[in-house]
Amino acid sequence: MKKLIQTGLLILLLLAVTIASAQQKDKYVMVIHGGAGTILKKNMTPEKEAAYVGTLTLALQTGYDQLQAGKTSMDAVEAAIHVMEDSPLFNAGKGAVFTHEGKNELDAAVMDGKSLMAGAVAGVTTIRNPISAARAVMEKSEHVMMAGKGAEAFAKQAGLTIVDPSYFYTKERWEGLQKALAEDSVKTVLDHGNKKSMRMGTINKDYKFGTVGAVALDHDGNLAAGTSTGGMTNKKYGRIGDAPIIGAGTYANNRTAGISCTGWGEFYIRAVVGHDISALMEYKNLSVAEAAQAVMDKVEKMGGDGGLIALDAKGNVTMPFNTAGMYRGTVTSAGKIQVQIYK
């Protein structure tokens, strides 16, 4: 009987170790997104799908390598977003969409979950990696946000890579603008007198490409979040979206979660999405998944679309979206990478 009991205890111990090991493998240390929108498999060639998966995988691996080397969550976020900013596939950095005037105007933000320090840049046209400029604003200035020429001058002074605006040109994005301009002229006639159209302009959801973003959790338990974007195709009047707005498109707090959003920015600003998720977790004790879904439901009810990524301080991740697809991926503490595109 004694031997039987000992055997039973040994089995229970092994089971507990197995469960603990499985839970450890499921702890996420980074989540990224490359935008949400009308992303359908039927419209995607095998080559382009492979390119997206490859770049997202590289971004996750790059961020994970930073964490494994003992670097901070902010280092991991910046490194992962660099990969996506340097790729023409995504609407950030090299792949940024064009404004109505035919320019590439970039926005970015970062936030540190431990200190609640944050930095952002908006409407910049010559900074190769806006996410690094946002970090420089956070770490090397007394401000939170800088815009336009002032932000560019600051970035140059901070030693960041400055490029000619032509660096951001891609044929695909330019053709996207031409198509949007053609439809814009038609819509101006068709929508004349429609109050909602006059208020919102002539935005066509099909030309609203997403942002890129990352959230990481480092070995010290600190969260960081970052978001970078080229905004909306055919945007007018110096429009700035939610990505560089702390508490809207970007937010991080060690007490709750790190969040990066992608979608129709006007709605994310009005819903204060990032901070609202954090507040629901802190004040109502909702899980990160429950809080994120509740806020996404609110955005959808308001008329907005898009998605978000969120990672809490315990390594739980959620990636809700209400569009046809969202480029997204995760990596666990064990280094397991998973990338998804469609619903």
List the one residue out of 249, 278, 251 whose CA is nearest residue 265. 249
Which runs of E-coded beta strand occur in 173-324?
A: 212-217, 223-229, 250-252, 257-263, 306-312, 317-318
For residue 216 the two structure tokens come to 């990481």
**What's the start-to-end Cα distance of the chain, in Å?**
54
Give the Cα separation of 167 and 85 in Å (integer).
12
For residue 317 the two structure tokens come to 């991740």
Residue 212 bridge partners (DSSP): 228
Entry field: residues in the chain: 343
Residue 110 bridge partners (DSSP): 119, 226
Residue 257 bridge partners (DSSP): 312
Which of 62, 211, 256, 330 is an active site residue?
Answer: 211
Q: Are strands 306-312 and 257-263 parallel, antiparallel or unpaired?
A: antiparallel
Q: Does the annotation count 233 as an active-site position?
A: no
What positions carry a catalytic annotation?
A: 211
